[in-house]
With several copies, the nearest count.
Chain A
């Protein structure tokens, strides 16, 4: 054999192989399988945290500072049934969503301007650096002048808290879009708004989503803090007011019931809204593991 040789492979009987595959895939134990589901693991985690809360609070035995989970849950249930919490949640959510949407839209406008014009970039960068660190109370005087008392001032403050976080993340996401994709967009003759919406937004979607998540969280934080600062015309306060009022009345289980409500809503939004969006976008597109 002094020359090359070609050895043909025999045809493979694939059936046997497939049987083999099924076997391999069934090898996972049921515990492993159950723990493989992220929802299950998260539930376990939440239960563990709940137990820690209950045990630690019982050990502390200072119900005016840190009530047990069971007290909190009882109060939560009572306040739900008597209709207080649902109406507070509703009030808060209305303002929250208005402010969140407005902030996001403004962030979109700012970043679109920033990505298309040089002065827009400078404007966004400067404004972000200047206003992002400012606490909401600093906007109070201006909000009072412009919007008076009530929901519109709250929305204004909410916008302040959502805008910069979303804008920063979106802008950074836009700037990180790969050169090739940007050239592809230019190649299709896309410019301005349609370029941003059809190329940059989907390409920077992971960053945008992170910004939206952070913005959402900060909208909550700000709203709850701001309801205290901006006050309410009585009877129509939201969750923040509910917490504050009960703190003032030293009804601490109710305070924690309010906070727990915030946590629960946070979990719902994260797991139902954001995770669903993620699954149908960046995960499907292979932009995230």
Chain B
């Protein structure tokens, strides 16, 4: 293993969905497993990014070795690089929830032409795609973009502020943890859950890298997988400690008990290593033309080493 890189960089996006990575970072799990596998003195640089796009650039320019972000980004990169970027392992599959302050809007059927739904990014974010998938289910493939005119782009904090402001024209928000629970706490109600649209969990945090890196550094890849498994174990065993790791990494000053309560929400403990719902996602992306190639199976866009994950 003499040529393997010992100084690796991984991206980090602060947030509860990425809890496993925060545990891996604070407990130095990757370092530990690499050492166990015979690669000593590995140092892992965790670099914080504000969003997926910048992480993509960082990976493509070779400035980071492994990124940790959503499924959409993986599929896109896999497609555009013609298979030169593939997934390693996933770490979370929590639901995202659309909430509303408007009592008239009980389900997606009640959305009228003038109702506004806040999503993180119009057209491309997971939330926007989910709305399209729902539209497909409701109105058929000819009307996939039914809800697109309703969407407006607002960051989660801004959307939350919008919901809090009774006079604001945006009354609904396709949110994400932890904002969705804070919003529900503040008196807004659930409109739709990603579980209902996908028919199961949808993978969120995914580690992925270039095939070139994976081929040259099998030990690191292995260590990342093992570390993820261990991190998820630790979260399940002791959520409080994991949340402390999150607080340490993100600087979040929220009370630990509140965070524990959030993890206690339905499906919030869906920390799992097998890709969930990704093929459904890919099918939709291919349908709307975002993906040029339709993967035959989820294993197309995961590393061969990861074929044992039993994903879908």
Contact = CB atoms under 8 A, between A and B. Distances in A.
Interface string B43-80: 00111111001101110110110000000000011011
Interface in A202-261: 228-235, 237, 241, 244-245, 247-252
Contact of B47 (A141, A145, A233): A233
B47 A244 contact: no
Interface stretch (B97-105, B161-169, B226-234, B237-245): B161-169
A149 B159 CA distance: 12
Contacts of B47: 149, 231-234
Given A149-B169, A245-B14, A250 B160 contact: yes
Contacts of B45: 233-234
Interface in A60-88: 62, 64-65
Given A245-B251, A250-B80, A231 B50 contact: yes
Contacts of A229: 50, 54
A144 interface: yes
Interface string B153-183: 1111110111011001110000000000010
B76 A249 contact: yes
Interface residues of B, number: 55
B48 A65 contact: no
B63 A144 contact: yes
A140 B123 contact: no
Contact of A247 (B58, B153, B157): B157
A145 to B, nearest CB: 5
Nearest to B291: A249
A146 B153 CA distance: 17
Contact of B61 (A141, A232, A237, A248): A141
Contacts of B254: 249
A27 to B, nearest CB: 54
A29 to B, nearest CB: 47
Given A233-B149, A234-B123, A249-B252, A144 B158 contact: yes
A234 B160 contact: no
B283 interface: no
Contacts of B253: 249, 251
A148 interface: yes
A231 B154 contact: yes
Given A149-B64, A245-B123, A233 B56 contact: no
Interface of B is mostly: mixed
Interface in B8-50: 9, 11, 14-15, 45-50
A62 B165 contact: yes
B149 A65 contact: no
B58 A144 contact: yes
Nearest to A247: B157
B251 A234 contact: no
B124 A237 contact: no
Interface string A136-171: 000011001100110000000000000000000000
Contacts of A250: 56, 76-77, 79-80, 157, 160, 182
A250 B175 CA distance: 14
B236 to A, nearest CB: 25
Contact of A244 (B50, B79, B156): B50
B81 interface: yes
B153 A65 contact: no
Interface in B117-170: 121-124, 145, 148-149, 151-158, 160-162, 164-165, 168-170
Nearest to B118: A231
A65 B60 contact: yes
Contact of A231 (B54, B81, B290): B54
A249 B161 contact: no
A64 B81 contact: yes
B213 to A, nearest CB: 15
A246 to B, nearest CB: 9
Contacts of B50: 228-229, 231, 244
A251 B230 CA distance: 32
Contacts of A231: 11, 47-50, 54, 58, 121-122, 152-154
Contacts of B169: 148-149
Contact of B290 (A62, A140, A233, A249): A249
A42 to B, nearest CB: 32
A48 B156 CA distance: 33
B250 interface: yes
B116 interface: yes
Contact of B58 (A149, A232, A241, A251): A149
17 contacts: A62-B164, A65-B60, A65-B161, A140-B54, A148-B61, A148-B169, A149-B154, A232-B47, A233-B122, A234-B46, A234-B48, A245-B123, A245-B251, A247-B157, A248-B53, A249-B250, A249-B290
